A and B are shown apart, each in its own frame.
Chain A
Amino acid sequence: MTADAPLLAVTDLVVRFRTHEGTIHAVNGVTFQLDEGERLGLVGESGCGKSVTNLALIRLLPQPAGKIEGGTVLFDGQDLTKLREDELRAIRGRDIAMIFQDPMTSLNPVLTIEEQMVETIQAHKEMPKEDARRRAIELLRLVGIPKPETRLKSFPHQFSGGMRQRVMIAMALALAPKLMIADEPTTALDVTIQAQVLELLRDLTEESRTALILITHDLGVVAGMTNRINVMYAGFVVESATTLDLFAEPSHPYTVGLLHSIPRLDAEEDEPLVPIEGRPPDMRHAPKGCPFAPRCRWRLDVCWSDNPSLVPMVAGTPVVMTGAGATHRIACHNQPTAEERVTGHPMRPGFLPAAAPAGVVDEVGAGHLGGTPDGFEGLVHAIEAEEGPISMAPSAGALPLTPEGDSHNEGVFHDD
């Protein structure tokens, strides 16, 4: 969008974990960019590579298993994948700050808030302790901690969860970073506090023109928070669009599935929730074909053999990576139609998801193919697929629902 280079440009990032049980293909060629002051949401279910992508950016992958095996991370003109540890340390906290999921455990229990904040500031700036202290008070006031002068002397356990996350935000903001990464910052908080913390995060980053990457599994969280959204699945970005476009035209079957598995207040009364069947793929194998194919209701034969790349929805559109005019891109061979986006399942007459090749688990229950899912039957099918046929006849041990049975039940209660 702008002529100058973006703040952050991640290109073909590949992260793998070498473990005793084999290689985990955590991130498989992720490319995205971020402008100054832009807020990007990374959405996907647990284990889809969102957190790993961001830990890889600042090279904090769990050692020694996690490794960046390819790609570049250009931040402010420097390739972070090639920096020395001490050069990176100067960037962490000062230019890129990170907020983690659980505020209850992200602060050191034996140090006061003051010690931890002053330490963070002094790690990057030559500053007398008194000045650092004043800055800490200012920051705590900024994030809405009442009586910051006295609270500075408190230990973390004297704060509630929401307050601790505010402290974490204050520490992350201490050095006015250019990029802030928030990894599920509100997952551990209760709903009312979530909204407050998110709003605080949005306002503060907006004021200071700090770019934000917000990692979450909750599409509701990113809706009001971000400019753009990347939907990730199995270590791939499967859909990328501005927040407006994504909610207006969710186009990847996975995004459609995500949106249909959240209950909505404005939903029609009898609109059923459509679950995404099955589980995320086993990341120990490099996927052959589209990683979402086993769970996809729209899959074609080609999906089993060819992993689609992330391309503009309208073929031939020039790709804009950042900003409000970012191109809506999607990695899918068979996009749901506008009508199907609304219903959450294929509506084409006679369409059936392509049969799985031999040896591949089909996660879409047989009871669901092409039709409206029937919750109970679907569940039975899903269980049968895993554990063999279920007998619906009452077994010998089952309690008969007769008067005798009732008195028998009472007896059980008396025994208790």
Chain B
Amino acid sequence: MAAPTATIAPTVETRASRGLWGDALRRLVRNKPALLGLFFIIVFVFAAVFATVLAPYGPLEGTLADRLQPPSSEHIMGTDSQGRDEYSRVLYGAQVSLVAGVASVIMGVAIGGAIGAAAGGIGGKVDSVLMRVVDVMLAVPGILLAIGIVAWLDRGLPQIMFAVAVVNVPIFARILRGSLLSLRESDYVTASRALGAPGSRLLMRHMLPNSLTPLIVAATLALATAIIDVAGLGFLGLGPPDPRTPEWGTMLTESTKFLRVAVWLLIFPGGAIVVSAIGFNLLGDGLRESLDPRMRR
């Protein structure tokens, strides 16, 4: 071994770094598909937020005399079977989808996260019991579970949000539990335990913040499925109780009756669902890549 030297060489890393999140953001900006996804999402959110300004007509406004008109300069997406402007309805539909999607994912993350944190953080019997419950929930197909919940709680937008949230709960619970379990064995958790950190702080300060990245990715991807699930429930006739509500799934159901004469009624709401879902999917994938711990070094 080399003779020990008394001087200490400063080996400070010089690479400019903006911290974990700053680096992740930088990688995300370089990811083209993720930026495309972000663009779709911005369009979707913009449409939802400014629907009242952007829409030339009200969502319920229309006369039967104007029914089933093809796209024209007056109605750029045509009109539906009640003579309502399809473009305005798609814009207002974005509101419903955005609110339902975001609310259900927030609910799902909150409930699933709490279950996952309890299971992964406490462990032992609590973990076994909670995970068996989650297994049972996972065994039921998602849309079937949602249908059951809406059938049980009656139709309504809050019920739909809850149903879609419940479908996502086991997924979030598993993800959080899994990352907590792997973090529990990680060196820095062992190291801080060896320095006397109490269990609560190990969980709150060391394990939870480090387990959030997979949850963020999953939540972004879940927004895509939530929008599809909400539309799916609408398509199956379990949409908002007022059938006039501009909900994309409900609008699709209606369009099937006029498929041969008014194909635009299928294309525009369907396209809106596809674009918003793809947007969240692309962004979610991009986030996964830029937050991947293996790319961090």
Q: Do A and B come from one complex?
A: yes
Residues of A bordering B, CB below 8 Å: 58, 60, 62, 89-94, 97-98, 100, 102, 105-111, 115-116, 119-120, 123-124, 144, 146, 151, 155, 157-160, 162-163, 168, 171-172, 191-196, 198-200, 220-221, 224
User: Could you tell me the distance between the alpha carbons of A236 and B104 in the complex, rounded to whole angstroms?
Assistant: 58
* Interface segment, one of B10-18, B38-46, B105-113, B272-280: B10-18
* Interface segment, one of B48-56, B128-136, B180-188, B256-264: B180-188
- Shortest Cβ distance from A88 into B: residue: B196
20 contacts between A and B (CB under 8 A): A60-B194, A89-B196, A89-B197, A93-B197, A100-B190, A100-B194, A107-B191, A110-B209, A110-B210, A111-B206, A115-B205, A119-B205, A123-B197, A123-B198, A157-B20, A159-B13, A163-B11, A192-B2, A192-B9, A196-B9
Query: Nearest-CB distance from A395 to chain B (Å)?
Result: 42
Cβ A93 vs Cβ B8 within 8 A = no
Cβ B193 vs Cβ A60 within 8 A = yes
8 Å CB contact of B188 from A105, A123, A172, A221: A105
Query: Nearest-CB distance from A171 to chain B (Å)?
Result: 6
- On chain A, the residues within 8 Å of B210 by CB distance are 108-110
Residues of B bordering A, CB below 8 Å: 1-6, 8-13, 17, 19-20, 185-188, 190-198, 201, 205-206, 209-210, 296
User: Could you tell me the distance between the alpha carbons of A157 and B1 in the complex, rounded to whole angstroms?
Assistant: 28
- Shortest Cβ distance from B212 into A: residue: A110
Cβ B187 vs Cβ A191 within 8 A = no
- Between B1, B5, B17, B185, the greatest number of chain A beta carbons within 10 A of the residue's beta carbon is seen for B1
The prevalent SS among residues of B at the interface is loop
User: Could you tell me the distance between the alpha carbons of A191 and B2 in the complex, rounded to whole angstroms?
Assistant: 8
Query: Nearest-CB distance from A226 to chain B (Å)?
Result: 14
Cβ A158 vs Cβ B196 within 8 A = no
Cβ A155 vs Cβ B20 within 8 A = yes
Decide: A194 near B1, CB < 8 A? Known: A119-B205, A158-B17, A163-B11: yes
Decide: A120 near B192, CB < 8 A? Known: A110-B210, A194-B1: yes
Decide: A196 near B206, CB < 8 A? Known: A92-B196, A97-B194, A110-B20: no
Cβ A146 vs Cβ B195 within 8 A = no
How many contacting A-B pairs (Cβ < 8 A)? 117
User: Could you tell me the distance between the alpha carbons of A364 and B210 in the complex, rounded to whole angstroms?
Assistant: 48
Query: Nearest-CB distance from B132 to chain A (Å)?
Result: 19
User: Could you tell me the distance between the alpha carbons of A100 and B191 in the complex, rounded to whole angstroms?
Assistant: 7
| Pairs A-B, 4 closest by C-beta atoms | A93-B196, A93-B195, A144-B8, A98-B194
Cβ B195 vs Cβ A171 within 8 A = yes
- Shortest Cβ distance from B197 into A: residue: A123
- On chain A, the residues within 8 Å of B205 by CB distance are 108, 111, 115, 119
User: Could you tell me the distance between the alpha carbons of A160 and B191 in the complex, rounded to whole angstroms?
Assistant: 18
User: Could you tell me the distance between the alpha carbons of A168 and B195 in the complex, rounded to whole angstroms?
Assistant: 10
Decide: A196 near B196, CB < 8 A? Known: A106-B191, A110-B209, A119-B205: no
User: Could you tell me the distance between the alpha carbons of A74 and B4 in the complex, rounded to whole angstroms?
Assistant: 35
Decide: A106 near B12, CB < 8 A? Known: A98-B194, A98-B195, A155-B20: no
Cβ B1 vs Cβ A221 within 8 A = yes
Cβ A119 vs Cβ B12 within 8 A = no
- On chain B, the residues within 8 Å of A93 by CB distance are 194-197
Decide: A146 near B10, CB < 8 A? Known: A195-B1, A199-B4: yes
User: Could you tell me the distance between the alpha carbons of A115 and B195 in the complex, rounded to whole angstroms?
Assistant: 14
Cβ A119 vs Cβ B187 within 8 A = no
- On chain B, the residues within 8 Å of A146 by CB distance are 10, 12
